[in-house]
């Protein structure tokens, strides 16, 4: 038996193959469960005791040599495949690039989180609306000149069906379906028929807020907006309210914050005034409450609205609103750290 093992040893030392398939056939022939070398272990049972040590060592040497020869053949073919451009399926996969949230989504979430901390819930409504919810219920009579302030997209030339120009329509829907106390914010996309430029777009995003309850005052409005400004832009931020006009609030105001870039000292961002306008606000007009079947003798409230793009441009010092809509990867990658 030792002579047989010796012949097989010389045989496996000289193994050759032309393809990987031939190398696999050699493995099956010599090393598989029913191969030549495993069969020697079955014959080993009949070897005389005084020869078992020598035969056992020879079989083990044969097995190790055959395994090494066949492995060398397989490695040669694997290396050949790599150099010829074939894919190595054992290599780790390429790392997929990590995306990021859009800056408008980041700012929207920050605004929602700030108001959530003081009890405001989120409400949303349809983007295609009727004239009642967008204009008339908000104190815009059919011939009211304030309608000219908002260039509207109408659907199929129907003057009653339009793309909403502000999310105030969701305020009306909320007041129609819920009695005070009401404390909610209304984020969403709005549409206005405006020329696209660095400062304006026909599509943009708003967050409006509404608080209605007994004994709500302008002081409550101011403190709410001061809290928001400090949370969004920093504890050193100051605000000021300037008289303004909106059909659905009375009194009405525009709110400015101290310039976050120069700290109020004056720069080109704030046009050297030290202040930057960010939103409009006011006390809900009693006529609007009546339109929604809320008793204006019992309840008062305030409302405010801001453009998310406006806030994002101030927060990240972006000078062109069109960047938010172009999906330029170079622009979006700058916000990975905040996603």
**Binding site residues for Mg(2+), as ranges?**
250
Please answer whether residues 281 and 249 qualify as being in contact, where contact means their C-beta atoms are separated by less than 8 angstroms. yes
Q: How far apart (Å, rounded) are the C-alpha atoms in residues 293 and 176?
A: 7
Q: Is 304 exposed, middle or buried (0-12, 13-18, 19+ CB in 10 A)?
A: buried
Q: Is 148 exposed, middle or buried (0-12, 13-18, 19+ CB in 10 A)?
A: exposed
Structure token pair of residue 249:
């609030």
In this structure, the number of other CB atoms found within 10 A of the CB of residue 269 comes to 15
Q: How far apart (Å, rounded) are the C-alpha atoms in residues 40 and 56?
A: 10
Q: What are phi and psi of 263, to 5 degrees?
A: 70, 20
Longest dimension (CA), the chain: 118
Ordered DSSP codes for 43-80 = HGGGS-GGGHHHHHHHHHHHHHHHHHHHHHHHHHHHHH
Q: How far apart (Å, rounded) are the C-alpha atoms in residues 69 and 10?
A: 11
Binding site: which residues?
Answer: 250
- Beta strand extents in 192-223 (DSSP E only): 203-213
């Amino acid at each position: 038996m030792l002579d047989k093992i010796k012949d097989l040893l010389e045989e496996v030392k000289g193994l050759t193959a032309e393809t990987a398939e031939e190398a696999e056939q050699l493995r099956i022939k010599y090393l598989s469960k029913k191969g030549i070398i495993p069969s020697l272990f079955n014959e080993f049972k009949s070897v005389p005791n005084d020869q078992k040590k020598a035969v056992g060592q020879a079989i083990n040497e044969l097995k190790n040599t055959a395994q090494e020869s066949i492995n060398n053949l397989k490695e040669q073919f694997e290396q050949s495949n790599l150099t010829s451009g074939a894919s190595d399926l054992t290599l780790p996969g390429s790392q997929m690039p990590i995306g990021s949230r859009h800056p408008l989504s980041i700012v929207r979430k920050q605004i929602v989180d700030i108001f959530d901390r003081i009890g405001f819930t989120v409400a949303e409504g349809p983007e295609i609306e009727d004239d009642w919810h967008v204009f008339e219920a908000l104190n815009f009579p059919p011939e009211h000149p304030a309608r000219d302030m908002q260039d509207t997209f109408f659907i199929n030339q129907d003057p009653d069906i339009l793309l909403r120009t502000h999310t105030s329509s969701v305020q009306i829907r909320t007041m129609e379906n819920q009695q005070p106390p009401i404390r909610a914010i209304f984020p969403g996309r709005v549409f206005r028929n405006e020329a696209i430029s660095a400062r304006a777009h026909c599509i943009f995003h708003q967050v409006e807020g509404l608080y209605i309850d007994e004994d709500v005052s302008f002081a409550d409005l101011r403190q709410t907006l001061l809290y928001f400004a400090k949370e969004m832009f920093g504890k050193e931020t100051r605000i000021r309210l300037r008289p303004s006009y909106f059909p659905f609030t009375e009194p009405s105001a525009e709110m400015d914050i101290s310039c976050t870039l120069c700290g109020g000292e004056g720069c080109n961002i704030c046009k050297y005034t030290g202040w930057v306008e960010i939103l409009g606000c006011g006390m809900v007009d009693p006529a609007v409450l009546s339109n929604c079947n809320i008793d204006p003798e019992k309840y008062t409230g305030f409302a405010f609205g801001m453009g998310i793009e406006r806030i994002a441009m101030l927060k990240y010092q972006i000078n062109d609103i069109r960047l938010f809509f172009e999906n330029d990867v170079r622009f979006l990658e700058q916000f990975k750290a905040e996603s």
